Amino acid sequence: MTTGQKIYECRRKAGMTQEELADKLGVSRQAVSKWEADAAFPETEKILELCKMFDLSADELLFGEARTNAPIHERAQAESQPFKEGEGVEWGKIEHEGLHFEYISKTRVLGMPLLHINVGLGFYRAKGIFAVGNIATGLFSYGLLSIGLIAAGFLSLGLLAFGGVALGLLLGAGGVATGALAFGGVAIGILTFGGLSIGYISIGGAAIGQYAMGGWAHGWLAVGSTNAYGAHAFVVPEMLEELDAFLDANAGSFPAGLIKAVARTLNS
């Protein structure tokens, strides 16, 4: 049992809310929430106050149980025994106070809860392998502000990002999206699709890039259904044959095939 789990257990047994415990210790409710989530550690003086308040030794608070003088090999053997149903099984903890809901799973991976949900009106942060919160950080995160390997939310940052504003390293999809591959109302990246598309290869209502294709296009090679501007500009369908000849002579197979497909789509 971690220190945060022990604080949570003692507080609940005492029938106290996080706010009540915070008032007694002279800290914020958010500080207590972070202690219990193991996202922060109490200061030494607060540890002493907690020990006195809950009638615990420092060992019980810091290590979850009083230390034993049994030989190390005996303690290791005891700790290796599987739990029996009803004997020390620890389930996730759930906190529900007014407009705040929090759940932290007991299962931990890489030192973080497998699942942490922390939502409500205010500043609530979730941190876990799977994190859901007003502010969420984890491998898989969802929140107003989310940061993770895969992130989704109003503002999301990650390897793969989805949201109102999505900042992705590989993939971004959202109202405003950035990424090597980006989809959005405004899309910025290497290969982009959007209302306003800016990229090396860009496709959209208004497209700007090395290879730009859309209703309005501007680039080294620009293909537009209404307007095209650049060193090599083609308005389709009027200049479709000229475009095919230019691509065959000057572009590689992938960009040529993609541009021809998009040009015919604009022509349809």
Q: Burial, 108: exposed, middle or buried (Cβ in 10 Å; 0-12, 13-18, 19+)?
A: middle
Compute and round to an integer the Cα radius of gyration of the chain: 28
With CA atoms as reference, report the closest residue to 217 among 200, 197, 237, 190: 197
3-state secondary structure at position 66? coil
Cα(31)–Cα(214) distance, integer angstroms:
52
Cα(186)–Cα(165) distance, integer angstroms:
10
Q: Which residues contact 222 (CB under 8 A, 6 or more apart)?
A: 207, 212, 213, 228, 229, 230, 232, 233, 234
Q: What is the pLDDT of residue 251?
A: 81
Domain ranges of the chain: 1-89, 162-267
Q: Is 64 left (phi over 0), alpha (psi -120 to 50) or beta?
A: left
Q: What is the pLDDT of residue 37?
A: 83
- Say which DSSP state 107 is in: -
With CA atoms as reference, report the closest residue to 92 among 109, 70, 114: 114
Cα(201)–Cα(189) distance, integer angstroms:
9
**Contact call for residues 136 and 124 (beta carbons, < 8 A):** no
Q: Name the CATH topology of 1-89.
A: 434 Repressor (Amino-terminal Domain) (1.10.260)
Write out the chain's pLDDT in tens, 268 residues: 788 888 888 888 888 888 889 888 998 888 888 888 888 888 888 888 888 888 888 778 776 555 444 443 444 443 334 433 333 323 344 555 557 788 888 888 877 888 989 888 777 888 889 999 889 999 999 999 999 999 999 999 999 999 999 999 999 999 999 999 999 999 999 999 999 999 999 999 999 999 999 999 999 999 999 999 999 999 998 999 999 999 988 887 888 888 999 988 886 6
Q: What is the 3-state secondary structure (H, E, C) of 77-90?
A: HHHHCCCECCECCC
CA 92 to chain centre: 22
CA 72 to chain centre: 41
With CA atoms as reference, report the closest residue to 186 among 210, 211, 205, 160: 205
Tokens 């099984």 correspond to 89
**Contact call for residues 103 and 116 (beta carbons, < 8 A):** yes
Cα(30)–Cα(124) distance, integer angstroms:
8
With CA atoms as reference, report the closest residue to 172 among 164, 183, 144: 183
